[in-house]
Structure 1
Amino acid sequence: MDAPFTGSVFLGMSVDGFIARPDGDLAWLTGGADAGGAPDDGEGGDFGFAEFVAGIDALVMGRGTYEVIAPLDEWPYQGKPVHVVSTTLGPGADPRIAVHGSFDDAVAALAAAGYRRVYVDGGRLVHTFLTAGLVGELTLSRVPVLIGEGHTPFGPLPADVLLEHARTRTFRGGMVQTTYRVR
């Protein structure tokens, strides 16, 4: 599928490749009670997330990811259009988002809006964008923990997705963040 925009992914995951536990729990990633406090990069930073968001035109996420983000005290995407793919949220469910009933509807809306770089978030949606050939860049931040099972954005693909290494950064505490370009 051709689109006039590039999908960019920025995910935190366990070393064994999971983005959430089977029940959706993220405490191991977000610094919950069992994880020893809020994560930072050792210098009071956010592992480059704010810089990444500053470089995108819009976001698209699945309903599950939206439900994690929606109740946050501070909306992390100030000034960026947020699109949510959901068959259960109705239009006007939240004035901060645009709701699309399908992947195809979301892609059409993102293309029609003229966005060039779109942040794709949420495991199933990332997989759908990868399958459709709409991801141009992946930034994967591996948190030094093995959780054994959970949700992954990767799974069966119609063909191999060849990647080119762009950069790797390491952070105090052991997180390793690698960015790949899709070839």
Structure 2
Amino acid sequence: MTNYVYIATSLDGFIATSNGGLEWLEELPNPEQSDYGYAEFMKSIDAIMMGRNTFEKVLTFAQWVYNKPVFILSNSLTKLPDDILDKAEIIKGDIKKLISQLNQKGYKNLYIDGGQVIQSFLQEDLIDEIIITRVPIILGKGVSLFGEREKPLKFRHQKTQIYNNILVKSHYIRER
């Protein structure tokens, strides 16, 4: 199984403002109306695992944006909105066991999303590839992508792409 992180950060490494806001991403000029490779990435994954905070943010969007199964990793959520019951599932427990169970169900490529979930996966050394798009803004504070680490994890640079002379997307693979 391969676990991917695909995310945007500010130059100072934040994925959201302190209150979870993403307005700074919506302000990006996009003359080509590009998705910056997101659709291509989504073709390569089988399912998405996200945390409660990310899930609650996604629920504020005008429509459900995923066409893949979504697993919400949460110890506090007990129920999903009726309109997405067939699109998402709440899971909880040890993430290594959950990954093994999803693998046994045929999921081989997972998109891991949400600051706390990403940090938990990194803590357990369960992230295989990271694709980070850096946005040229310094937020100063907010939700950190990586947080504090007890020990370093080494990644190897795979490639970097520049979009609209603004965004820098870099792809890294975990060195084992």
TM-score by length of structure 1 reads: 0.86
Question: How far has the Cα of 1:25 moved from its partner?
Answer: 1.0
1:111 alignment counterpart: 103
Q: Secondary structure at the match of 1:168?
A: strand
Match of 1:132 among 112, 124, 127: 124
Provide, for residues 42-62 of structure 1, a one-character-per-residue CA deviation record: whole Å limited to 9, x for no partner.
Answer: 422111111111110111000
Letter in 2 for 1:121: D
Letter in 1 for 2:75: T
Q: Which runs of 5+ in 2 are unaligned?
A: none
Letter in 2 for 1:182: R
**Structure 1 residue 83 corresponds to structure 2 residue 71:** yes
Letter in 1 for 2:93: S
1:15 alignment counterpart: 11
Q: Which runs of 5+ in 1 are unaligned?
A: none
Number of positions where the alignment pairs a residue of Structure 1 with one of Structure 2: 171
CA 1:103–1:63: 2 relative to 1, 3 Å: farther
Provide, for residues 108-167 of structure 1, a one-character-per-residue CA deviation record: whole Å limited to 9, x for no partner.
Answer: 432231211100000010011111111110000001100100111212223211111111
1:163 and 1:101 map into 2 onto residues whose CA distance is: 28
Q: Which moved more, 1:165-174 or 1:51-60?
A: 165-174
Letter in 2 for 1:88: S
**Structure 1 residue 170 corresponds to structure 2 residue 165:** no
1:98 alignment counterpart: 89
For the aligned residue pairs, the C-alpha RMSD in angstroms reads 1.7
Match of 1:51 among 30, 40, 45: 40
1:103 and 1:85 map into 2 onto residues whose CA distance is: 10
1:68 and 1:151 map into 2 onto residues whose CA distance is: 14
TM-score by length of structure 2 reads: 0.89
Letter in 2 for 1:18: F
Letter in 2 for 1:6: T
2:93 and 2:53 map into 1 onto residues whose CA distance is: 14
* 8 Å Cα contact 1:57/1:81 also seen in 2: yes
* 8 Å Cα contact 1:58/1:115 also seen in 2: yes
Letter in 2 for 1:133: D
Q: Secondary structure at the match of 2:14?
A: coil
* 8 Å Cα contact 1:91/1:98 also seen in 2: no
